[in-house]
Amino acid sequence: MKDVDAIGASNLTDMNGYIPGLVVGGGDETQPSFGLRGINPSDFGVATDAPVGVYVDGAYAAKSGGALMNFLDVQRIEVLKGPQGTLFGRNSAAGALSIVTNEPEAEFDATGAVRLGSWNSTRINGMVNAPVNDKLSVRFAVIADKSDNWKENVYVGNSKDGGSDSVSGRFSAKWSPDAQTKLVGSYEHSYVDQKARPAYGVAPFNDVNPFTGAAIPSVPAAFSTFFDPRDANLMNDAPSKEKLNFNSANIRFETPLAGMTFNSLSSWREFKTKNLGDYDGTSQMSAYLSTLNKENTTIWQQEFKLSSKNEKYDWVSGLSFYRSDAKQTSGATLSTDSLDTLDYRINALAPIHGGAASGFFFTGGVLDMFACGAAGVCGNPSTLWSEQMDNKVTSKSMAVYGDVIWHLTSTTNLTTGARWTRDKKSVSWYVPPATTSDANLTADAMTGLLGGAAPTNLIFSDAAIAASTKVKANDSWSNLSPRLVVDHKYDADTMVFASYSQGYQSGGYSVVQPLAEFAPEKMKNGEVGIKMNFPTQKAVMNASLFKYKFSDLQSIELVNNVGNIPVYDVTSGDQKAWGLDIDGGIRVNSNLRLFTAAEYIVQKWENKIDKYGVDVSGQLTGLPKLTSMAGMVVNWSGLGGFMEWNFQGTYTSKNSNCPNIPQPDEYTCEQGAFKTGQAQSKFDTRVSWMNSDRRYGVSVVVNNIFDKQYVSVPGGTASTIGAFYSDISHPRFVGVEVKAAL
* Amino acid at position 694, single letter: R
- Contact yes or no for 481/502 (Cβ under 8 A): yes
CATH architecture of 2-411+425-741: Beta Barrel (2.40)
Q: pLDDT tens digit string along 120-171?
A: 999 999 999 999 999 999 999 999 999 998 888 888 766 677 788 999 999 9
**Tell me: the pLDDT tens digits for 605-663?**
888 877 777 788 888 888 899 999 999 999 999 899 999 999 999 999 999 888 765 66
Interatomic CA distance for residues 558 and 299, integer angstroms: 30
pLDDT tens readout for residues 498-514: 999 998 888 888 888 88
pLDDT tens digit string along 560-589? 554 455 666 667 788 999 999 999 999 999
Nearest CA among 191, 312, 199, 165 for reference residue 246: 191
Q: At 393, which helix (H) or strand (E)? A: strand 384-407
363 pLDDT tier (thresholds 50, 70, 90): very low
C-alpha distances (whole Å) from 587 to each of 316, 538, 638 are 37, 6, 21
Q: Which of 479, 480, 486, 489 is nearest to 416 (CA)?
A: 486
Structural domain spans, the chain: 2-411+425-741
pLDDT in tens, 396-439: 999 999 999 999 999 999 999 999 999 999 999 999 988 876 65
Q: Which of 83, 77, 129, 80 is nearest to 106 (CA)?
A: 129
Range from 327-331, 340-344, 349-353, 730-734 carrying the lowest mean pLDDT: 349-353
Give the start-end residues of each E strand in 228-312: 241-257, 260-278, 289-309
Q: Is the pLDDT of residue 444 over 60?
A: no
Q: How far apart are the first and last CA of the chain?
A: 20
Mean pLDDT, the chain, as a whole number?
A: 85
Identity at 226, one-letter amino acid code: F
Lowest mean pLDDT among 117-121, 216-220, 566-570, 722-726: 566-570
pTM confidence score: 0.90
Answer whether residue 380 shows pLDDT above 60. Answer: no
